[in-house]
Each structure stands twice: as C-alpha cells, then as structure tokens.
C-alpha cells in the first residue's frame, strides 16, 4: 500500500508530540518504586516543557542521517555518540568508555556494561520508525545498529521491538497485531518477550493495576525504582511481594509496563499513558514510548487538545553538545517533523519513495503478513533461484553474539567472531572465527582469500591465510578459524587486521580486530 504525504506528516508529528507529552507526564515520577495516581501533568508548564533525554537523543541520530543518509550504521552513530551526547551516566558512559578503548559495536554496548539491559535505547526507536514507515524490517535493522552502540541483549531487543511495532503503526492500528509484529523481530526466549506476554495475560485476566504491576515485576524484576535507596530503605507500602532484581536489568519490566498501560487504557491516549505512569519505575520512558506509539496511530490531528495544548508544540533538550556545531537542534515538534520529512525520500530511495506522485511524495509500505519478521529458514540451505538476500535479517542480527562484528563491502560481507570474549591472556593462544558471505547483488560464485596481519610478538599457530570457495547460494559461506600465539606480545592490546580479497577481482575489505589484555 502507499502512504500519502499528508497522512505521513500527521503521523510523524503525532509521534513526536506523543513522545513529548508522555515524557513530560512521567518525568516527575522517574526512578520511584511506587504507584502514581495522577491523571494529568503535575509540573508548572507556563514556561514550556522541561527538557527530557527520551526525545533529544534522537535529534543526534537525525543529524547523522542528514549527513550520511541510509549509510548510517553503528560505527557512524558511535562517532556521533562520542561527539554530541553529553551524559556519562551508566550505559551511556560505559558505551563511550568502551568506544574510546577501541571496542567497536556491539562490544561497546556489552563489555563491563551492567546497564546494557536497561532503558536507554528502547527510548530511541521512533527516529527509525518515522524514517521507515510501514517497513518494520528496515526500521528494526537500523534500531539494531543504534542499540549496539551502548546496549546489548535485552536493551537492544527492546529497541528492535519498539521500532518494528511503531513502523508498522503507520499502516496498522490494532494493538494486539502491532505487538505481535514487534515480538516477531526479537528472540523467542528473551525477557522482553516474557514481560510483554505476562502483561497481556494479566490484562486478559482482568487483574487490578496493582496486581498487574506485581505479576510483571516478578516475571522480569528490574531495579530502576530503587537505584537511589539502600535495600533496607525500600518503601514497604505498596511494594509488598516485589522481588529484588539485578542491577540495570530494567528494559523488560518497563517495556511490559508500557504495554500493560496500553491495554488497561484500552487505546485511549490519556488513560493509557496515565496507566503506564501509574506503574512507577522508569516512568518518563514508559509514558514517552507509549505516547509516541499512540501518536503514530492517531496522528497529531487526533491527539487530545487537553494534552497537546499545554506544551504549545515546544520541545526542550538536555543531552546534546551544542558547543562544537554539527547538530542543529529544533525547538518545536513541527520543526522536527519537517526535518524528518525532508530526509525521508533520500533515506528510503526510489525503491520505496515516489517523489513525483501528485500532491507530494508517497511511500511504499508493507501490509498484512509482510509486516512480520520473515522466517530465516524459509528456504533450504544452499538453495538456488530468485533474488534471495544474503544479508542477515533484523531478527538474525538481533540474535547474534555481542562479540560478532559485521563488515559490509560491495561484493561480500565479512563477519568476525571473537568467540565469547573481548580479551586475551599473554602466553595463551587465542582463537577467532572469520567468515564471508557473497553479496546477493553480485550473484556470482567466487573464491575468497582470508588472511591475518598480526603485530610484532603475535603469530598464527598454524595457517594465517586460507583460500576458500565463496558460493552465492542461500546461506553459503566461507568460514575459517584462526589461532594466534601471544607469548611474545608485549602490548596491552592485540590489534590485528583480517583481510578478505576475492581471487581475480579488485574486491577486498579489511576488518580491524582489537582484543584487550587481561591477567
């Protein structure tokens, strides 16, 4: 189906307005383990809305898209993160520290990051949904690239879920269908899915909000609401029977609360975000993400004036470094919306965007079953025929180990797996796995040479170079495992280059691999 420009603009504006409304509603209650019984804003908004990071972080991503278009990836976003995002708290700060140490995404979001499963990246899903309306597979791919900069595992699953669901919301309005679409893009056994499914069960059973809160919390216990108090200082009233979770394990619970709020509010905008706020914990995130989702479904034209008018279209930022230039910060929802609309045609390309359509450009959207993640096993391995895409789907990427990096080149994609660790021990051999997959756009069989370039003091135990067939059949790959001797290496870092080159062609690509010394 085709999405016309007027409808698209209304929904994008509804997304950002809903995000802003939800963030302002929930901000005063953030980080508190309590039930919040309010039905409207509690702040004095006469001077405009307070700043909130849930929206303004995405302005940095928009700036990256404005410069790099559809080529944005985790590496580019990581550079923007280091340059323009000012907070250094928990997962944001650890992601920065890892990037500075040479640990590229997804390791930057995983290593020593106790808050990798927290809420800081599912709140950034809207930019990808708005740039990929009705294209949840595409939105999920970019959400993955975003999330792995400073999160991993459940944190990333949360952003992929929300990006896919919100992208589909441009063309689908049924809540259960949208939730199922989002779930299809994340692993079946993950805690985000477990929390959402528990939320749906509770609401189907007609439980009270207090009981829904208890059931969700104990299914996927988070700690966001008790970060600032000692265990013996947790308020007893209203918190009886709540388990103590693991530090930073917050995304599953809070995403589930946002879904429960949606169900309890029965799709009514105000009732839904107030129900999400009532659960406590990371309230600005739960209310903002739900508000954005409902804003896409309703469009700005159908958002209740009661909620929109006090904010007067204004947004305020708190996390963007404005001193160096490079990021143009909008001051209104309207300005932000117009910037997204300007960049979308170039981002989607002529395959999905018709610039010459009467009345403004139109966007080609998926519908029905095509909105769900496609089964990775839908073809037999090494099957010929058709234009099968050899790149990993969003769901397949999301399920990868955080120690696998992906390096894409025109004729092939190179994967490097550090096999469970970002470290090496001097005197012990260290293995890595490397494999190449032929590009589906070239459609030719090749041979690929995989070769290691090692620093002084490190050597390959057996072969440091292999020559392998690289077929272009479905799921075909050229794979090798290299073992490295570090006995004579004096450096605190093992820095090596994996080089892949196609025989008889100029096509080649390199991947730098950094491992840090421990022990």
DSSP 202-257: HHHTT--HHHHHHHHHHHS---GGGTTS-GGGS--TT-TTPPP--TT--HHHHHHH
Looking at domain 403-517, which CATH architecture does it have? Sandwich (2.60)
pLDDT of residue 157: 98
How far is Cα 415 from Cα 404, in angstroms, rounded to an integer? 7
The torsion angle over the Cα atoms of residues 381, 384, 387 and 392, rounded to 10 degrees, is 20
Which pairing describes strands 404-408 and 353-354: parallel, antiparallel, or unpaired?
Answer: unpaired
Contact yes or no for 415/405 (Cβ under 8 A): yes
How far is Cα 46 from Cα 136, in angstroms, rounded to an integer? 38
Contact yes or no for 139/293 (Cβ under 8 A): no
How far is Cα 516 from Cα 503, in angstroms, rounded to an integer? 33
How far is Cα 134 from Cα 163, in angstroms, rounded to an integer? 11
**Strands across the sheet containing 2-3:** 2-3, 362-364, 353-354
How far is Cα 100 from Cα 460, in angstroms, rounded to an integer? 28
Q: For the chain, give every domain's residue range.
A: 2-343, 403-517
CA-based nearest residue to 105, from 140, 72, 63: 72
CA-based nearest residue to 22, from 185, 251, 218, 262: 262
pLDDT of residue 152: 98
Q: 364 phi and psi, to 5 degrees?
A: -80, 125
Q: Which residues of the chain are under the pLDDT cut of 70?
A: 385-386
How far is Cα 313 from Cα 309, in angstroms, rounded to an integer? 8
Max CA separation in the chain (angstroms): 73
Give 79's Cβ-side CA count (13 Å radius): 11
Q: What is the DSSP string of 315-334?
A: ---SSB--SS---PPPSBHH
The whole-model pTM stands at 0.97
pLDDT of residue 391: 84
Residue 299, helix vs strand vs coil: coil
Structure tokens at 423: 């470290």
Looking at domain 2-343, which CATH architecture does it have? Orthogonal Bundle (1.10)
Contact yes or no for 238/35 (Cβ under 8 A): yes
Residue 513, helix vs strand vs coil: strand
**What one-character DSSP code corresponds to residue 422?**
S
pLDDT of residue 293: 98
Residue 1, helix vs strand vs coil: coil
Sort 493 into a burial class: Cβ within 10 Å, 0-12 / 13-18 / 19+: middle
């Amino acid at each position: 189906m085709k999405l016309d420009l007027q409808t698209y603009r209304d929904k994008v504006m509804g997304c950002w307005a809903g995000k802003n409304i939800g963030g302002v509603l929930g901000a005063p209650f953030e980080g508190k383990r309590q039930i919040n019984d309010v039905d409207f804003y509690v702040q004095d908004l006469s001077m405009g809305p307070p700043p909130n990071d849930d929206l303004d972080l995405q302005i940095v991503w928009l700036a990256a898209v404005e410069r790099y278009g559809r080529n944005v990836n985790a590496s580019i976003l990581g550079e923007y993160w280091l340059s323009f995002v000012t907070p250094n708290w928990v997962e944001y700060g650890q992601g920065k520290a890892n990037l500075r140490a040479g640990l590229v995404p997804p390791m930057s979001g995983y290593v020593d990051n106790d808050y990798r499963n927290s809420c800081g990246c599912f709140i950034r899903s809207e930019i990808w949904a708005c740039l990929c309306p009705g294209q949840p597979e595409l939105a999920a791919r970019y959400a993955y690239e975003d999330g792995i900069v400073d999160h991993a595992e459940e944190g990333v699953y949360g952003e992929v879920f929300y990006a896919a669901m919100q992208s589909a919301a441009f063309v689908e309005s049924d809540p259960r269908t949208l939730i199922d679409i989002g779930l299809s893009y994340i692993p079946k056994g993950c805690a985000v899915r477990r929390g959402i499914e528990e939320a749906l069960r509770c609401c189907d059973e007609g439980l009270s909000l207090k009981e829904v809160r208890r059931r969700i919390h104990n299914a996927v216990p988070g700690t966001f609401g008790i970060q600032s108090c000692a265990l013996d200082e947790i308020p007893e009233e209203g918190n009886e029977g709540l388990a103590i979770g693991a530090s930073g394990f917050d995304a599953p619970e809070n995403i589930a609360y946002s879904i429960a709020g949606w169900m309890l509010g029965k799709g009514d905008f105000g009732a839904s975000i107030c129900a999400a706020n009532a659960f406590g914990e990371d309230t600005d995130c739960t209310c903002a993400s739900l508000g954005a989702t409902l804003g896409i479904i309703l469009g700005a034209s159908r958002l209740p004036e009661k909620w929109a008018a006090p904010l007067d279209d204004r947004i305020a930022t708190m996390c963007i470094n404005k001193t160096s230039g490079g990021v143009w910060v909008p001051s209104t929802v309207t300005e932000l919306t117009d910037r997204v609309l300007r960049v979308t045609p170039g981002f989607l390309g002529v395959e999905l965007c018709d610039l010459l359509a009467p009345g403004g450009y139109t966007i080609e959207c998926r519908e029905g079953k095509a909105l769900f993640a496609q089964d990775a096993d839908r073809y037999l391995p090494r099957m010929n025929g058709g234009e099968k895409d050899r790149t990993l789907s969003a769901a397949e990427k999301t399920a990868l180990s955080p120690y696998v990096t992906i390096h894409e080149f025109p004729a092939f994609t190179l994967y490097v797996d550090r096999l469970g660790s970002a470290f090496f021990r001097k005197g012990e051999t260290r293995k890595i796995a490397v494999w190449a997959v032929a590009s589906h756009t070239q459609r030719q069989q090749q041979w690929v040479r995989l070769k290691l370039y090692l620093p002084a003091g490190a050597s390959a135990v057996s072969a440091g170079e292999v020559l392998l067939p690289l077929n272009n059949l479905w799921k075909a790959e050229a794979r090798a495992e290299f073992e490295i001797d570090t006995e004579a290496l004096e450096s605190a870092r093992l820095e090596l280059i994996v080089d892949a080159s196609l025989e008889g062609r100029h096509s080649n690509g390199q991947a730098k691999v950094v491992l840090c010394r421990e022990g």
